[in-house]
């Protein structure tokens, strides 16, 4: 069966670039995941970073003012922050206006619409610059029907937010492609959309249509085709479980990979809730996922070991693989452990 393309949301080749990454006054690295994602997966489109007073987070790229970035080839400022609620604080607006006055368009993946902010709208009209929102879902999303679709699907799921679901999906999609498999990475959040050039921002979809959006994102395909779908949130998350469950039911994954950050004890932004165990996450995800795909299975676990040294990470990956009885790897570190995880994903 011919693979049906997914509607593109602001294709990368249609967005003005290269980018200056805006970090605002962010102090929590997990909230700067858009900036880090673009740095790591679209480095050729990133010129530098820009922040305002109070910021303690850096991507490690060269710090530049908007004028300096424009002189170095940047043509747009990308808001590199994905804070809780996806809002643009009022005290960021002078910096965004300054960027437009320096010749940069503004690209945002926040829930707040740029054009809904009078100061930004006025500055855009005055300077002739574009205000571009990528967190806009298509208008023709159907209600989910639960029909089994052809093709193969892998979904990354997590014990919490912001711990590696996107990076894991991107790494697995790339590994599948290297093996000669017909593969598409399906983005479900603003960062993934900016990286891939297409997708559907699931958390911007009216909840009744969210599972339908997931079905739309991974349509019928040839039997040997893989859609590797970027996960969102966690089915245990007190705020975001709804989008996680809709994505699980709508994507109907044949395979899941559970993502976890060792050492994280409490849910990001909700310290009164503990992070569930990997075993709890596997069990509940498979139970819920069987509703639309009775054959769903867990291929293994992706651990975010960025905070560990190489030797410590290697020992942890090996011990967790033995304890859990499945492939365990850090996709960013790669190596034999990741090769085993990729192979486990492909086994029937």
Kind plus residue range of the DSSP H or E element containing 324: helix 310-324
Return the axis-axis angle of helices 278-289 and 241-251, rounded to nearest 10°: 50
Q: Where in the chain is the domain with CATH 3.40.50.300?
A: 152-346
The pLDDT of 324-336, averaged and rounded, is 97
CB atoms within 10 A of CB 207: 10
Q: Where in the chain is the domain with CATH 3.40.50.720?
A: 17-129
The pLDDT of 113-118, averaged and rounded, is 93
Topology of the domain comprising 152-346: Rossmann fold (3.40.50)
What is the pTM for the complete model shown?
A: 0.88
Q: 55-108 pLDDT, tens per residue?
A: 999 999 999 999 999 999 999 999 999 887 788 999 999 999 999 999 999 999
> What CATH number does domain 17-129 carry, 3.30.1330.10, 3.40.50.300, 3.40.50.2300, 3.40.50.720?
3.40.50.720
Strands (DSSP E) contained in 74-160 are 76-79, 105-108, 131-133, 152-158
Q: 228-258 pLDDT, tens per residue?
A: 999 999 999 999 999 999 999 999 999 999 9
Find out whether 106 and 129 touch, Cβ atoms under 8 Å: yes
């Amino acid at each position: 069966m011919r693979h049906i393309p997914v509607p593109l949301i602001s294709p990368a080749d249609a967005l003005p670039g290269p980018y200056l990454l805006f970090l605002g006054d962010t102090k929590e690295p997990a909230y700067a995941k858009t900036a880090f994602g673009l740095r790591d997966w679209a480095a050729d489109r990133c010129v530098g970073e820009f922040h305002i007073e109070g910021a303690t987070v850096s991507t490690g790229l060269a710090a530049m003012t908007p004028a300096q970035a424009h002189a170095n080839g940047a043509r747009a400022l990308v808001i590199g922050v994905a804070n809780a609620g996806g809002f643009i604080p009022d005290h960021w607006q002078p910096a965004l206006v300054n960027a437009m006055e320096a010749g940069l368009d503004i690209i945002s993946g926040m829930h707040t619409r740029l054009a809904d902010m009078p100061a930004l709208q006025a500055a855009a009209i005055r300077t002739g610059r574009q205000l571009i929102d990528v967190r806009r879902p298509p208008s023709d999303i159907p209600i989910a029907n639960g029909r089994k679709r052809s093709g193969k699907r892998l979904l990354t799921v997590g014990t919490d937010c912001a711990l590696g679901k996107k990076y894991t999906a991107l790494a697995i999609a790339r590994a599948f492609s290297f093996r000669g498999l017909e593969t598409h990475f399906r983005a479900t959040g603003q960062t993934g959309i900016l990286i891939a050039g297409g997708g559907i921002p699931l958390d911007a979809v009216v909840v009744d249509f969210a599972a339908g959006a997931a079905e739309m994102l991974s349509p019928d395909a040839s039997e040997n085709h893989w859609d590797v779908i970027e996960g969102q949130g966690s089915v245990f998350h007190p705020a975001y479980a709804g989008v996680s469950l809709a994505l699980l039911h709508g994507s109907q994954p044949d395979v899941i990979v559970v993502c976890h950050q060792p050492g994280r004890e409490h849910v990001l932004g909700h310290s009164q809730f503990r992070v569930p165990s990997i075993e709890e996450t596997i069990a509940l995800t498979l139970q819920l996922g069987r509703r639309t795909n009775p054959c769903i299975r867990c291929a293994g676990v992706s651990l975010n070991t960025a905070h560990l040294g190489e030797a410590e990470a290697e020992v942890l990956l090996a011990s967790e693989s033995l304890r859990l009885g499945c492939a365990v790897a850090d996709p960013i570190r790669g190596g034999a452990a990741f090769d085993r995880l990729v192979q486990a994903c492909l086994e029937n």
